[in-house]
Chains A and B, each alone.
Chain A
Amino acid sequence: MTPSTIELPVTADDYRIARYAAAAIALTVAEAALPSPLPGIKPGLANIIVLVVLARYGWRDAAWVSLLRVVAGSLVIGQFLAPGFFLALAGALCSLAVLAAARHLPPRLFGPVSASVLAAFAHIGGQLALARVWLVPHDGVFYLLPLFATAALAFGAINGLVAARLLAIPVAMPVVKAA
Chain B
Amino acid sequence: MKDRVPDGLRELLAHAAGAGHAPWRTLLRLGDWLLLLAAGVLVAASYPLLWRGGAADRAIVKRDGRIVTELALNAPRKYDVVGAIGTTVIEVQPGRARVLSDPGARQYCVQQGWLTRANAVAICAPNHVTLQLSGRGDRSGAYDTLNY
A129 at interface, CB cutoff 8 A: no
Is the contact region of chain A dominated by helix, strand, or loop, or is it mixed? helix
Query: Assuming A110-B35, A149-B43, A168-B21, is B53 touching A143 (CB within 8 A)?
Result: yes
Query: Assuming A111-B29, A165-B27, A172-B1, is B35 touching A118 (CB within 8 A)?
Result: yes
Number of residues of chain A lying within 8 A (CB) of chain B: 27
| Interface size bracket, B side | 20 to 34
Bits for B26-37, please: 1 = Cβ < 8 Å to A, else 0: 011111100110
Q: Are B39 and A153 in contact (CB under 8 A)?
A: yes
Q: Are B39 and A113 in contact (CB under 8 A)?
A: no
Tell me, in angstroms, the Cα distance from A145 to B22 when the chains sit together. 35
Number of A-B contacts (CB under 8 A): 68
Q: From B6-14, B44-52, B55-63, B108-116, give the one contacting chain A.
A: B44-52
Bits for B76-119, please: 1 = Cβ < 8 Å to A, else 0: 00000000000000000000000000000000000000000000
Q: Are A150 and B50 in contact (CB under 8 A)?
A: no
Query: Assuming A143-B50, A146-B46, is B31 touching A168 (CB within 8 A)?
Result: no
State the Cβ distance, B39 to closest chain A Cβ, in Å. Answer: 5
Q: Are A143 and B51 in contact (CB under 8 A)?
A: yes
- In the complex, which residues of chain A have a beta carbon less than 8 angstroms from the beta carbon of B1? 169, 172
A157 at interface, CB cutoff 8 A: yes
Q: Which 9 A-B pairs have the closest CB atoms?
A: A109-B31, A164-B27, A110-B31, A113-B32, A149-B43, A146-B47, A146-B46, A111-B29, A114-B35
Given contacts A113-B36, A114-B32, 20 further A-B contacts (CB under 8 A): A106-B31, A108-B29, A109-B30, A110-B29, A111-B29, A111-B31, A111-B32, A117-B35, A117-B36, A143-B51, A145-B46, A145-B50, A146-B43, A149-B42, A153-B40, A161-B28, A165-B21, A168-B21, A168-B22, A168-B27
